[in-house]
Amino acid sequence: MTAVTERQQLAYIANQAADMRVNVELETEGMTLNIGPQHPATHGTLRIIVKLDGEQVVAADPVPGYMHRGYEKLAEVRTYPQVTTLVNRIDWLGSFANEVPFILAAERLMEVEAPPRAQWIRTILFELSRIGNIALFLGDMAVQLGAVTPVFYAFRDREYVLNQIEAITGGRFHPNFDRIGGLKDDIPKGWVAETKGVLTKMRAFCDELDELLVGNEIFTARTRGVGVIPPEVGLSYGLSGANLRASGIDWDHRRDSPCGLVYDKLDWKVWTHPDGDSFARYWVRLQETREAILMLEQLLDGIPSGPIMAKVPRIIKVPAGEAYVATENPLGEMGYYVVSKGDLVPFRVKIRSASFNNISIVPWVLRGVYVPDVITILASLYFILGDIDR
């Protein structure tokens, strides 16, 4: 866990300078490589135009928008309860987590608070989404590095989590379960015990990947010191979530502003890593998955009884006002800036999605790396295309 030393940095700079001299002497010509929009590493339709010198990247320019669906515009013609259906599709791997900040923003404007039981179940679903989402990252990162097996484990074990989400909400991917003032339904009978079984499996999954990848020399060689993002740069680009925590910034919405969710009632810790490289990002996410399992165990034991819905009017009109609520989603800070004019529909919804900011750093971080590292860095930043394009 050593940070990149000054000596290493100097050596890197010296290397670059030497390469440049060679290039000047040989007058080599650059090559433009189009990564995407259809490319296995972009898992979606992100396009990155990379200017190469040999295998080294000179400049990278991501071109998002192949999946732009205009949710901000669409939200302006939908009633508040209808918006959750849209935002489900932003980060489609952790859908429930997308609904929560919007609902919380609407609740803040309406001055409504969900009853404790609803808050607990919300938090449970939130963390389950996180595990389901990050589990895929843990496997997918390995696939991007060339190890095929972990992703099969990830798909296998994530299915257990999705089953539990489906058991409550009726939807594996798009629950559309959160309501202003509470939840659509209560949890079914026997669900808590079943989920505990799933948590045991997920813990085994984390241990398996820990042994398979984190302890693997090739994995370490491929990720250590690759794509280092200093904390100041990360902040300036608005990186969030594990990407920022892997740069050593100890900040987590769940701990520091747990509005509407019950994280303050749990015993857990925020993981950080000082290095800021791809390995750190993987490691932090792995630890966060474990921490989520730990949290879920406490949550499952402590579900209070009571109603799951506060009293809200049948037809929801949100009083005029503005609110920004952000939560710590699997991918990072996700927030909704909701402007209401006291109408059935929001006047303006600005969706602040995590991947948009996380990927906007790509031109900065890809400069000077090798082509294989492009893939490593993209994978370690972990984006979901719907979350970039909205």
Checking DSSP bridges between strand 348-352 and strand 321-329, what pairing results, if any?
A: unpaired
Least distance from other proteins to the Cβ atom of residue 297, Å: 25
For other proteins, the closer of residues 30 and 297 by Cβ is 30
Least distance from other proteins to the Cβ atom of residue 250, Å: 8
3 close to 273: Cβ distance less than 8 angstroms: no
| Binding residue for other proteins, selected from 21, 68, 269, 367, defined by CB under 8 A | 68
Residues 247-276 that bind other proteins (CB under 8 A): 249-251, 256-257, 259-260
Alpha carbons 172 and 93: distance in angstroms, whole number: 9
Which of 277, 300, 296, 166 has the alpha carbon at shortest distance from 231? 277
Q: How many CB atoms lie within 10 A of CB 382?
A: 27
Alpha carbons 75 and 78: distance in angstroms, whole number: 5
* Selected range binding other proteins among 1-9, 121-129, 275-283, 344-352, rule: CB under 8 A: 344-352
Alpha carbons 390 and 68: distance in angstroms, whole number: 6
Alpha carbons 382 and 36: distance in angstroms, whole number: 16
* Selected range binding other proteins among 32-40, 193-201, 271-279, 287-295, rule: CB under 8 A: 32-40
Residues 97-136 that bind other proteins (CB under 8 A): 107-108, 111-113, 115
Cα of 106 vs its chain's centroid, Å: 22
Indicate the SS3 state at residue 130: helix
Is 71 an interacting residue with respect to other proteins (CB under 8 A)?
A: no
* Selected range binding other proteins among 5-13, 86-94, 268-276, 311-319, rule: CB under 8 A: 311-319
Residues 218-237 that bind other proteins (CB under 8 A): 218-219, 221-222, 232-233, 235-237
* Selected range binding other proteins among 60-68, 160-168, 192-200, 292-300, rule: CB under 8 A: 60-68
For other proteins, the closer of residues 130 and 254 by Cβ is 254
Task: Find the length of the chain.
Answer: 390
